[in-house]
Amino acid sequence: MMASSYNAKDEDGHITVSGPGGGTLRSKKPENTAFKQQRLPAWQPILTAGTVLPAFFIIGLIFIPIGIGLYVTSNNIKEFEIDYTGVDMSSPCFNCSQNFSWNSTRPCTCTIPFYLDQPYENNVFMYYGLSNFYQNHRRYVKSRDDSQLNGDLESLMKPSKECEPYAYHENKPIAPCGAIANSMFNGEPVSCCAHQTHSSFHLYLICLFTSLADTLELFYNDPNGTKIQIPMTATGIAWWTDKHVKFRNPTDNANLTAVFQGTTKPVNWRRPVYELDTDPQNNGFINEDFIVWMRTAALPTFRKLYRIIPKKNSMVPTLLRGNYTLEVVYNYPVRSFEGRKRMILSTISWMGGKNPFLGIAYITVGSVCFFLGVVLLIIHHKYGNRNNSADIAN
């Protein structure tokens, strides 16, 4: 591109006309290889009616059954959803959502009754859903320190700049740092529950409001009037790699309090990270509720797995048909940004949860392909240039 036209080589007379001694000149004939002569054997596909039309029919024939299968599967999945944000005056949580203030220490609980019109078999999954919550915002997504969460001691004390402005609080490093951790949705009700019976009111408060988070409790209202709490497990809700690779406590030392010495809790949290759970396998950075929250959502409306209601045995449905009560300890404010909070109960199939779109899309695409195939076939027969392939072969 930038070469100057003169090259001393030219002066050197390398282009000397082949003189009498030119017999010794080596032949400059290019090699006769298929590559150099551009004669490599090659497959030269041509779009002909013979290939394209069957392709359309085949795509149609594959997609439509898949779509039907998916649709049926999806329809067999049971899903139940409650919005408990409390936007409406009539909503049980209206008061809680109105009275929220950041500094309030008073818990607000609301109870939402609902009715399941069919029994839920197998494992039932409980999700919390948030709307209009931008977990996928660039500044939000990057506001974390994976090294800290991976248990790196240096990062623990020196959180990455990405965590700003949630890296330090009162000159102490925040653990876990960053906006994601700071805005964690769900707290740890277990420990609170453990303290509920405690006599000391003071303690009760502390225990109940350790985290700025909602807690969801599900009760079955027995037809005979008793309220039975549905047992739920809080483990197994995170990705295996997250739980075992990505998130690690700084040491395997059981005494997390010592490990996190010198750090401070995220600003919005009421409890430090090492008090998220009593179970050492679910405490600190490897607390699964925390991990689930830290796996940011792709879209502003999302759901996250909250609890699993394990099936009892194959004979009895996990959740019977009947009346239930959802008890919400309403801590997490979303009204300010017009967010919504939901609770979802769902069963699962081989292809995951309820997903009618996929089935419908497959059926549609398959039908369109089939239809296109027919149309193209007609066009081809009516107007198609049938000499085409013959000419090419000529």
Tell me how far, at minimum, the Cβ of 33 lies from another protein, in Å: 8
Are 203 and 175 spatial neighbours (Cβ–Cβ below 8 Å)? no
Kindly tell me which of 40 and 199 has the beta carbon lying closer to another protein.
Answer: 40
Whole-angstrom distance, CA of residue 346 vs CA of residue 126:
7
Give the residue with the Cβ less far from another protein, 34 or 254.
Answer: 34
DSSP string computed for 186-199: B--HHHHHHHHT-S
Residue 128 burial class via C-beta count within 10 angstroms: exposed 0-12, middle 13-18, buried 19 and up? buried
Nearer to another protein among residue 66 and residue 193 (C-beta): 66
DSSP letters of 225-293?
Answer: S-EEEPP-B-SS-S-HHIIIII---SSS-S-HHHHTTT-B--TT-SS-GGGS-SSGGGSGGG-HHHHHH
Comparison of 161 and 202: residue with beta carbon closer to another protein: 161
Amino acid identity for residue 53 in this structure: L
CA neighbours within 13 Å on the CB side: how many for 265?
Answer: 16
To 10 degrees, the CA torsion angle through 166, 179, 176, 102? 80
Cβ 205 to another protein, closest distance in Å? Answer: 22
Tell the smallest beta-carbon distance from residue 244 to another protein (Å). 9
Given the structure tokens 């991990």, which residue do they identify?
Answer: 291
Shortest Å, Cβ 331 to another protein: 13
Between 94 and 134, whose beta carbon lies closer to another protein? Answer: 134
Q: How far is the CB of 196 from another protein (least distance, A)?
A: 28
Shortest distance, position 43 Cβ to another protein, whole Å: 4
Q: Which lies closer to another protein via its Cβ, residue 228 or residue 378?
A: 378
The count of other CB atoms within 10 Å of the CB of residue 343 is 22
Query: Looking at the DSSP assignment, which residues form a beta bridge with residue 130?
Result: 302, 341
DSSP secondary structure code for residue 26 in this structure: P
Question: What's the CA angle centered on 129, arms 125 and 130, to 5 degrees?
Answer: 165
Least CB distance to another protein at residue 392 (A): 6
How many Å apart are CA 162 and CA 310, to the nearest integer?
39
The pair of structure tokens assigned to 150 is 């991976």
As beta bridge partners, residue 22 has: none
Please identify which residue in the block is written with the tokens 């818990």.
107
Chain mean position to CA 266: 23
- In the bound state with another protein, the residue whose beta carbon lies nearer, of 84 and 362, is 362
Question: With respect to another protein, which residue has the nearer C-beta, 115 or 357?
Answer: 357
Which of 41/225 has CB closer to another protein? 41
**Least Å from the CB of residue 72 to another protein:** 14
Q: How far is the CB of 313 from another protein (least distance, A)?
A: 19
